[in-house]
Amino acid sequence: MIIKSFELNKIKRENYKLYLFYGDNEGLKEEVIKDLFEKNYQDTIHRYDEKEILDNKDNFFNSVLTKSFFDNKKLIIISRATDKIKETIEDLIERNPEDIQIILNSKNLEKKSTLRKIFEKEKLIICVPFYEDNNQTLNSIISLFFRNKKIPISQQLINVLIERCRGDRKNLKNELEKIETYTLNKKNLNLEEIIRLTNLAENYSASELVDHSLAKNTRKTVTILNENSFSVEDNIIIIRTLLAKLKRLVKIYELVDGKNNIERAVSACKPPIFWKDKPLVTQQIRSWKKDHLKNLIYKTNEIELLIKKNSNLAKNILSDFIIDNSRKTNN
């Protein structure tokens, strides 16, 4: 059964055991899982990656189906779920385990996805798409934040924050947390302070680094890496910038598939690409095949997890990944 994210507040969530959350809005998914589900389970939350389950299904089923005296209700959260887990989910539906809820967190699943079809068709399981936030939604989040803090903020500063979070709710929440710490005893904020506090999008070197890597300009990519001392936070910024630009390239490819030539597709892209960036974006499209871009999105998500787990090696891991992509041939 398909419902919208805001409708989760209107249903009796305890009546449904299986949920599929899919889409690119990770920030909203995290909010929903934390505010509507995790608070009901406290210490009985079990987290899995799809690969862990596929590598050892028996262990997963034992964990899900075994009841203990101290562990009556369970919340199972499965990350990076794809169609590969379909048979496992069908098996779970058939076994109908008691006292558990399972949330599958997936990236953007296409209409032909077999996993998505199961959740859309069945009446007793829930399918929720999480689309990217538009500027109006982000505007409301920012306005509410500053209203609660009783700090006046102009529309100009709101627009700057939206631009600097690159339309990502999760990034925006991170930046607002920094602002909250800074404004404990302040009654106003100016543009200079916003720019200094939100290092996210002012990192033009990060954006430039990603652009030249995707355009296969290896020499320029290496130069930017050598000339910049990226912090641990910058590594995450670079990864998320790369993800955003990869997704944009996939969207442009879809326009090309619709019988447009590359230049026309770049011009038709929404939101519009700044005129001076169009030649570089065109070069990026010519440098990659669509399937390779989709595969790179998956690998980039893996690299983000890796650098979070290995902060001491994050710079080397990311540099090797970025340089390697700038050298790959499009075979």
* pLDDT tens sequence across 141-192: 999 999 988 888 888 888 888 877 767 788 788 788 777 777 666 777 777 7
* 278-287 helix and 204-214 helix, angle to the nearest 10 degrees: 40
121 & 143 share domain:
no
**Number of domains comprising the chain:** 3
Q: Is 267 helix (H, G, I), strand (E, B) or coil?
A: helix
The pLDDT > 70 percentage for the chain reads: 88
Q: Which domain holds residue 80?
A: 5-129
Q: How far is the C-alpha of 294 from the C-alpha of 250, rounded, in Å?
A: 7
11 and 117, same domain (yes or no): yes
Residues 289 and 224 in one domain: yes
Number of CB atoms found within 10 A of residue 12's CB? 6
Verify that 320 and 210 share a domain, yes or no.
Answer: yes
| Alpha-carbon distance values, 178 to 151, 168, 170 (Å) | 15, 16, 13
List, for residues 273-308, the tens digit of each pLDDT value. 766 678 888 999 999 988 999 999 999 999 988 888
C-beta of residue 100 within 8 angstroms of C-beta of residue 128: no
Phi, psi of 19, rounded to the nearest 5 degrees: -130, 140
Single out the residue in 146, 168, 197 at which a domain terminates: 197
Q: Given this model, what pLDDT does residue 202 score? A: 43
Residue from 34, 177, 207 nearest 105 by CA: 34
Nearest 10 degrees: CA dihedral of 26, 273, 246, 21? 20
Other Cβ atoms less than 10 A from the Cβ of 187: the count is 9
Confidence of residue 329 (pLDDT cuts 50, 70, 90): low
Both 214 and 319 in one domain: the answer is yes
Q: Looking at the structure, tell me whether residues 154 and 74 fall in a common domain.
A: no
Question: Which residue among 129, 164, 179 closes a domain?
Answer: 129
CATH number, domain containing residue 311: 1.20.272.10
Phi, psi dihedral angles at 10 (to 5 degrees): -100, -10
